[in-house]
């Protein structure tokens, strides 16, 4: 691929031509398909575009641009490659244990104190749905039988850029499911063929939406945002923009949970203070 060729040749001119080709490709993709590719880290982007270039037999970025022009369906394949949907139920169980034992009870106590029985969360970069459904199960566990006079209203907005992943998420069918200890699989899933389907009770509170994280969703006064293993793909400046969006969507005292290899740094982090460092849980100040 272009990047490698320019590196081994080491020529300044070729490196510049490669960079220009890359720039022109991104500009083309951005103007024709509307996604700001510059939000991603260049090396990550080059690796993923490189995979598609090899698959389509294109030798450099400009050839690939031409290819996309002639085969617009290639854009969908590129997006699929760019958006890695690896996920699972209760990914990093230690984090979900803290959500279960500390964060969700705190949210519920706060809501009871202010007399509001609405619980609102956002799973940003929800992939195939395991994350919002895990959250839905935790909230259901926490509110079951708590107050039958005033039933809790749970709303989880789950967003992703990848419509194929969202389609699978809406289906709610999984070949394997791993839950936290103490959660009864049969209460939340129906066995179906060689897999499990989430029950309506788990699905009902979750609303899936196609959304680029760069665009602010119409969400306000949220109690909790999970944005896990998504920020790592973004440029620092874009991370800051996303954190700013999160701080506007959360209520004061609302929680933000990042992936285990992600942290909040810099001035944009000033709206958040660590709640549990190891589990990457923050509170909106
Ligand atoms: C590795 S998955 C993380 C899934 C889940 N949050 C977890 O931790 O298990 C990353 C997800 O981020 C989504 N994503 C990547 N770029 C995005 C963007 N600009 N806007 C919204 N979602 C994006 C991908 O489509 C993918 O589903």
Mean pLDDT of 272-276: 95
* 240 vs 104, residue with greater confidence: 104
Looking at residue 115, what is its pLDDT?
93
Looking at residue 4, what is its pLDDT?
36
**Neighbour tally for 169: CB within 10 Å:** 26
Does pLDDT of 249 surpass 80? yes
* Exposed / middle / buried, residue 100 (Cβ in 10 Å: 0-12, 13-18, 19+): buried
Does pLDDT of 13 surpass 80? no
**CA nearest ligand 1 atom 11, residue:** 125
- Is there an atom of ligand 1 within 6 Å of 213 CB? yes
* 35 vs 260, residue with greater confidence: 260
pLDDT tens-digit series, residues 165-191: 999 999 999 999 999 999 999 999 999
- Is there an atom of ligand 1 within 6 Å of 143 CB? no
CA of 130 to the centre of ligand 1 (A): 12
Task: Name the residue ranges covered by the structural domains of the chain.
Answer: 2-82, 93-284
pLDDT tens-digit series, residues 28-80: 988 887 777 877 888 989 999 999 999 999 999 999 999 999 998 898 888 87
**CA nearest ligand 1 atom 25, residue:** 83
Looking at residue 56, what is its pLDDT?
97
* Exposed / middle / buried, residue 122 (Cβ in 10 Å: 0-12, 13-18, 19+): buried
Looking at residue 264, what is its pLDDT?
83
Q: Name the least confident of 83-92, 243-252, 276-285.
A: 83-92
* Exposed / middle / buried, residue 180 (Cβ in 10 Å: 0-12, 13-18, 19+): middle
Q: pTM, whole model, 2 decimals?
A: 0.83
- The share of the chain scoring above pLDDT 70, in percent, equals 91
Does pLDDT of 123 surpass 80? yes
Q: Place 232 in a pLDDT band, splitting at 50, 70 and 90.
A: confident
Closest CA to 139 of 124, 151, 127, 149: 151
Q: Place 3 in a pLDDT band, splitting at 50, 70 and 90.
A: very low
> Which one of 156, 169, 230, 261 would you pick to mutate in the ligand 1 pocket, going by the greatest count of ligand atoms within 8 A of its CB?
230
CATH 3.40.50.150 fits 93-284, yes or no: yes
CA of 160 to the centre of ligand 1 (A): 6
Tokens of 121: 């969360």
* 216 vs 8, residue with greater confidence: 216
């Amino acid at each position: 691929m272009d990047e490698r060729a320019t590196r081994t040749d080491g020529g300044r001119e070729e490196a510049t031509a490669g960079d220009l080709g890359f720039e022109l490709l991104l500009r083309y993709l951005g103007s024709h398909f509307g996604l700001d590719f510059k939000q991603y880290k260049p090396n990550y982007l080059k690796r993923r575009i490189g995979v598609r270039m090899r698959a389509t037999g294109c030798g450099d970025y400009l050839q690939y641009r031409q290819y996309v022009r002639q085969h617009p369906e290639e854009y969908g394949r590129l997006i699929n490659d760019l958006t890695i949907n690896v996920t699972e139920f209760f990914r990093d169980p230690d984090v979900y244990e803290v959500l279960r034992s500390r964060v969700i009870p705190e949210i519920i106590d706060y809501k009871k104190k202010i007399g509001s029985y609405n619980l609102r969360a956002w799973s940003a970069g929800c992939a195939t749905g395991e994350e919002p459904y895990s959250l839905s199960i935790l909230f259901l566990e926490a509110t079951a039988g708590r107050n039958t006079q005033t039933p809790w209203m749970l709303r989880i907005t789950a967003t992703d850029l990848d419509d194929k992943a969202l389609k699978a998420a809406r289906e709610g069918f999984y070949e394997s499911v791993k839950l936290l200890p103490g959660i009864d699989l049969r209460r939340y899933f129906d066995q179906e063929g060689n897999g499990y389907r989430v029950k309506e009770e788990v699905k009902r509170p979750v609303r899936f939406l196609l959304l680029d994280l760069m665009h602010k969703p119409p969400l306000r006064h949220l109690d909790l945002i999970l944005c896990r293993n998504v920020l790592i793909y973004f440029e620092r400046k874009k991370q800051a923009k996303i954190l700013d969006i999160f701080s506007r969507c959360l209520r004061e005292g609302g929680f933000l949970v990042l992936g285990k290899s992600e942290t909040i740094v810099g001035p944009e982090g000033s709206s958040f203070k660590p709640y549990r460092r190891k589990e990457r849980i923050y509170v909106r100040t």
